[in-house]
Amino acid sequence: MAQALGYTLRMLSEKQFRERTKVELREIGKQVASLATDQDVYRKLESEVIARNPRLRDSRGAFLRMLRGAYTDAMVVRVLRLLDPESPGLSLPRVLSQIGKYPELLHDKAGDREFARECKALDTQARNLRAVVDSHFASHERTPAALSRMHRALDEALDTIISTLKTYYWIVAGGHLDLEPSYTEDPLAIFRFAWLQAGEITASRRSATKPE
């Protein structure tokens, strides 16, 4: 009887853990889907707006430097937070570490070596991303070459997060986690009309050149 009760309690504990982990992985999934959406919007902006407009494409002005830098900095902070096992918020490595304490959840779905390899991959991506940040943004560098290296590190880290998150949601929940970019409207619609009318442009230019 005692053995049966112990077995029941242990299984109930596993069930509770599984349900809690499903919720945590879904919440992480919401953040990752938001990151993937922002990444997609930025890529569309670069390829469909900036690259097709010679005046923007060849610009070295402060606005585009600020825009690209702000996107990069925000993405770095959010990705590193998800990769930080000590983060007070949601953390994918911490959830995986907890899953590792329930080997029955991994049975026939992920071997010990595979699990260890994927945990290490997350740690490697975090270290690689921090290394790029430290080497290129310590002095607020915003050159195209520095941003390109930063974006490659971000893309690799996000790809690893997405792949790992999908795998372990399937293992824990037996279902699919949709992490594709999604929009309620065309994200580039704001660029399909003039921001200023002719009269407003003239007034703006006069104001900018008017002596104080």
Beta strand extents in 121-191 (DSSP E only): none
Q: Are 187 and 39 in contact (CB under 8 A)?
A: no
DSSP string, 44-83: HIIIIIITT-HHHHT---HHHHHHHHHHHHHHHHHHHHHH
> pTM for this structure?
0.82
Give pLDDT tens digits along the chain (212 positions): 434 434 443 444 778 888 999 999 999 999 999 999 999 999 999 999 888 888 887 777 788 888 998 999 999 999 999 999 998 889 999 999 998 888 888 777 787 788 899 999 999 999 999 998 887 655 567 788 888 899 999 999 999 999 999 999 999 988 999 999 988 888 888 887 776 665 554 555 555 555 55
Q: What is the Cα 185 distance to its own chain's centre?
A: 21
With a CB cutoff of 8 Å and minimum separation 6, the contacts of 170 are 109, 176, 177
